[in-house]
Amino acid sequence: MGLQNIGIEKISRRDFLQKGLVFGAGARGLAAGYAAVPDVFAKAVYAAKGAGVTNDRVLVMIQLGGGNDGLQTVIPISDGKFRDLRPTLGKEADSALRLDNSWGLHQSLKGIKSLYDDGKVAVIQGVGYPKPSFSHFDSIRVWETGDPTRKQQNGWLGKTIEKNYDSAGHPLIGCATGTTSVPGALRDLQATLTVINDQSSFKFQGNSDNVDKVMGTLYTGTPGIYGALFDTAMSTVRDTVAQLKTSAAKYVPKGNYSDNQKLVFSSKNQLAAALQLAAELIVTGTGVKVLHVTLGGFDTHYTEQARHAALMGYLDSAVSAFHADLTAYGMADRVMIATWSEFGRRPQENASGGTDHGTAAPVIIIGDPVKGGLYGQGPSLSKLDTSQNVSYTVDFRSVYQEILTSHLGVDGQDILGQGFERIPFIRSAA
């Protein structure tokens, strides 16, 4: 946990937990179907600070890292300009999965298309922000903080957790799976977060698996009143590790994440592995409310057609397995997935058969709580901006606001700092 970096004289139990708990997930997963959940973690879901957030809904954010090509994901099948601008890539329009007479999903998204046909997918077109940046790092920061002015430092989800759920530093409310660091969207200096990086073993990040040994190290330099403080903090950590280890043998995935259900994190199946871990956390009642996972590889400057098709396939198979898993456990009505990427790609393909950094792109919302359909105005290829990119028609904060208010049941304006046009793509929480 990087304990050597914690200021002993200033730490509180909550501060201690906020330094970040990093676990690996046991070889068979995290926890059992409907296993009983220890007191503090189950109750933490409902322990909102002031407004009394009581719904049991869960949000899973999928980052499509690198800048996903929105025009190659939700394809303008009837626009001849698309084929003119993309002599090679435009051929995907011929095999797209038709949503209506104008738009179709990439052919690799067959599972998501099936969910769309069932009314469980909302496609929000033209999502972006004012004065877009073509820098990966700068645009990621904008999306992660929910702030195009670049003034905010904390992530919009981290802020949500801190303001609404994390009144006592419960480790499992906000989790990132399939990574070794806290994503910026979850980051907040006042929020307690957990990172679960892989399926090898549960452990502290560092040289020791032994919680008591860590406690002994802390006590050595922590006399007087801090003894009780660390006892409480480490008890919480010990209980977390014990719960995850105990339940690891009981969880059985009910979605087809892979042929043998033994996933390892790699470039090809990282999303499926991360979503399987996410499902384990959800169906076993650990108290998780917000999860973040990532699929990288979308910076497709060259030979995009095959690479993007493969990435769409990874997304589709992982999401389909995740939804099937939750459905089998009777929990799909609680969980919603939302994709995001730092920017789209330019409308015109380049000389290398790829596309360069662009602007607006679709956001795809998936799950039983979703009101399915097409939302927003699709990008116009005949009215490009001065940089020859499509103009955004939906502020990305409108999407965030609806997720916060209608799905999680928190005050979206409080998190985002102002109100935005509503896009009603979520069914009201009970």
206-259 pLDDT per residue, tens: 334 455 555 555 555 545 555 555 566 566 666 666 666 655 667 789 999 985
DSSP assignment letter at 322:
H
pLDDT at 270: 87
Q: How big is the chain, counted in residues?
A: 430
Strand-pairing partners, residue 395, are: 128
Retrieve residue 309's tokens. Answer: 């098709």
193 close to 289: Cβ distance less than 8 angstroms: no
Helix (H) or strand (E) holding 362: strand 361-366
Q: Is the dihedral of CA 306, 262, 179, 327 positive or negative?
A: positive
pLDDT at 197: 74
Examine the pLDDT at 127 and tell me if it is beyond 80. Answer: yes
Lowest-confidence range among 181-190, 263-272, 327-336? Answer: 263-272
Instruction: Say how far apart CA 322 and CA 336 lie, in whole Å.
Output: 11
Examine the pLDDT at 379 and tell me if it is beyond 80. Answer: yes
pLDDT at 227: 56
Instruction: Assign 385 a pLDDT band (cuts: 50, 70, 90).
Output: very high
- Closest by alpha carbon to 364, among 62, 79, 129, 24? 62
254-305 pLDDT per residue, tens: 999 985 555 555 545 789 999 999 999 898 888 889 999 999 999 999 999 9
Q: Is the dihedral of CA 29, 32, 38, 39 positive or negative?
A: positive
404 close to 412: Cβ distance less than 8 angstroms: yes
Q: In the chain, what percentage of residues exceed pLDDT 90? A: 60
DSSP assignment letter at 10:
G
Helix (H) or strand (E) holding 295: strand 290-295
**pTM, rounded to two decimals:** 0.84
Examine the pLDDT at 49 and tell me if it is beyond 90. Answer: no
Scanning the structure block, which residue is given the tokens 């009910």? 254
Which residue has better confidence, 27 or 380? 380
Residue 287: partners with Cβ closer than 8 Å, 6 or more residues away: 37, 41, 42, 43, 44, 45, 170, 172, 173
Q: Where are the domains of the chain?
A: 3-416
Which residue has better confidence, 244 or 29? 244
* Mean pLDDT along residues 353-369: 98
What mean pLDDT, rounded, does the chain reach? Answer: 81
pLDDT at 78: 96
* Mean pLDDT along residues 149-158: 93
How many Å is the maximal CA-CA distance in the chain?
A: 75
* Mean pLDDT along residues 139-151: 96
